[in-house]
Amino acid sequence: MRKREDEWTGLMRSAMAGDSAAYDRLLKSVTPVLRAAARGGLARAGQPVDQSEDIVQDILLAVHLKRHTWDANAPFAPWLFAIARNKLIDSLRRRGRRIFVNIEDFAETLPGEPVTENAPASEVAAQLQSLPTRQREVLQSIAVDSASIKATAAKFSMTEGAVRVALHRALASLTAKVREQ
Amino acid sequence: METDQLIRTLAADSAYRARPVGMVLALALLAAAPVSMAIFFASLGVRPDLMSAMHNPFFDLKFAVTLALAISAIAVGLHLSRPQASLRGWAWLLLIPAGLLAGGIASEMMLPQRLPMMTRLIGSNSRVCLTAIPLISLPLLAAALIGLRHGAPTRPAVTGAIAGLLSAGLAATLYASHCTDDSPLFVATWYTIGAALVAAIGALAGSRMLRF
């Protein structure tokens, strides 16, 4: 457990220094833990666990947009679990049930195996349609077609900087729309 | 969207660097300060005997108290903008202005006074004080909430209340230069009620605005 968390801290430091491959690895490594905690929270709230992917994506978006509040001299796991706990409580509350989540729920969970039966997450996808066209196109090009920033820029005859701005704005407004629901 | 697709997208956006919360808070407060100052100078202005009042230590103490409140609330607010933060170990900072005030009251008690205690406490500006501090603080409160919203506060109501204290501290610093009631008893009563009012507004606004 400690070894895994130390590894996360190292990956996050590299990510903050501009290593996007480390960031990708970090997010992939935390996702099973978040998924297990989300399923646990849903199960205890008497909610169908197949909604866990919505919560996982909600947490990942928050981690991404709030990562500047992580102190690079501090371990990453407590910060991550605080964000995740906040998002989990928020999601469960939005689903109409008040519930308290222990921070230990995250620390103690073993990485859950990738779920096979999970329904495709709908919340984020549903909000895609309400984005401005250009933001949606850029987001879909990168997310769904796995195009690079460079390839996306060429496809829409935009500069790479403009693609980056559109992508970031799309992620920020997706998060805001999911929250406002 | 599949989670793997989302992760790929987030990694593609990893070059984006958000400004630190402290910087956003500072910029927002700097933008709001002229508005609050305009409200203050248009409606109240500094007292005419400002120069001689500055020789009165109890006049100067008002600024020490209000600035201490503003600065300690900024420190606590920035701390609470991190998701895993709690008030523990930090709330005592807010006792600094209270301690200064208590010291002021104690020393005033030991000095001979022309006016009885209740007269000094009630003063002659209590109504102005109770209106001016919340009014001047509103633009600053909005700025403080915008700044802290850039962080990730997991206790939105508490953080909003701290934003209220922060803006009330700054507003009271302006107001103190207008008010002719310098007794620490007056400050402890009316400034405190004014600041508590703004803190309540901040808590209410924060519980909505500061969720992320």
Determine the average pLDDT of the residues in B117-133.
Answer: 91
Q: What is the pLDDT of residues B185-212, one digit of tens each?
A: 999 999 999 999 999 999 999 999 999 8
Q: What is the pLDDT of residue B156?
A: 96
Contact B13 A64 (CB under 8 A): yes
pLDDT classification of A47: cutoffs 50, 70, 90: confident
Supply the mean pLDDT for chain A.
85
Contact B13 A15 (CB under 8 A): no
Determine the average pLDDT of the residues in A4-28.
Answer: 94
Q: What is the pLDDT of residue A46?
A: 84
Contact B3 A121 (CB under 8 A): yes
Is A117's pLDDT higher than 70?
Answer: no
Sign of CA dihedral B82, B83, B86, B91: positive
Distance from CA of B21 to the nearest CA of A (A): 7
What ipTM was reported for this prediction?
0.86
| 3-state SS, residue A3 | helix
| 3-state SS, residue A118 | coil
Percent of chain A with pLDDT over 70: 84
Distance from CA of B16 to the nearest CA of A (A): 7
Is B15's pLDDT higher than 90?
Answer: no
Is A100's pLDDT higher than 70?
Answer: no
Cross-chain CB nearest to A69 (options B14, B16, B152): B152
Contact list in A for residue B212 (CB cut-off 8 A) is 62, 65-66, 86, 179
Written in H, E and C, the secondary structure of chain B is CCHHHHHHHHHHCCCCCCCCHHHHHHHHHHHHHHHHHHHHHHHCCCCCCHHHHCCCHHHHHHHHHHHHHHHHHHHHHHHHCCCCCCCCCCHHHHHHHHHHHHHHHHHHHHCCCCCCHHHHHHCCCHHHHHHHHHHHHHHHHHHHHHHHHCCCCCCHHHHHHHHHHHHHHHHHHHHHCCCCCCCHHHHHHHHHHHHHHHHHHHHHHHHHHCCC
Contact list in A for residue B83 (CB cut-off 8 A) is 66, 69, 79, 82-83, 86
Pick the range with the lowest mean pLDDT from A65-69, B14-18, B139-143, B147-151.
B14-18
Cross-chain CB nearest to B11 (options A23, A68, A85): A23
Cβ neighbours around A167 below 10 Å, total: 24
Q: Which domains does chain A have, with CATH numbers?
A: 1-111 (1.10.1740.10), 122-181 (1.10.10.10)
Supply the mean pLDDT for chain B.
94
Cross-chain CB nearest to A86 (options B10, B21, B83): B83
Q: For A65, which residue in chain B has the nearest alpha carbon? A: B18
pLDDT classification of A180: cutoffs 50, 70, 90: confident
Q: What is the pLDDT of residue A2?
A: 78
Domain ranges of chain B: 20-209
Cross-chain CB nearest to A20 (options B11, B18, B19): B11
pTM metric for this prediction: 0.88
Residue A121 near chain B (CB below 8 Å): yes
Distance from CA of A153 to the nearest CA of B (A): 13
Contact list in B for residue A167 (CB cut-off 8 A) is 9, 12-13
Q: What is the pLDDT of residues B84-104, one digit of tens each?
A: 998 888 999 999 999 999 999
Token digits of residue A125: 């996808």
Q: What is the pLDDT of residue B212?
A: 87
Contact list in A for residue B2 (CB cut-off 8 A) is 120-121
Q: For A103, which residue in chain B has the nearest alpha carbon? A: B84
Contact B2 A21 (CB under 8 A): no
Q: What is the pLDDT of residue A7?
A: 94
Chain B residues contacting A, CB < 8 Å?
1-21, 81-84, 151-152, 154, 211-212
Cross-chain CB nearest to A149 (options B12, B18, B81): B12
Is A103's pLDDT higher than 70?
Answer: no
Distance from CA of B142 to the nearest CA of A (A): 19
pLDDT classification of A162: cutoffs 50, 70, 90: very high
B172 within 8 A of B133, measured Cβ to Cβ:
yes
Residue written as token pair 């008010």: B179
Q: What is the pLDDT of residue A144?
A: 87
pLDDT classification of B36: cutoffs 50, 70, 90: very high
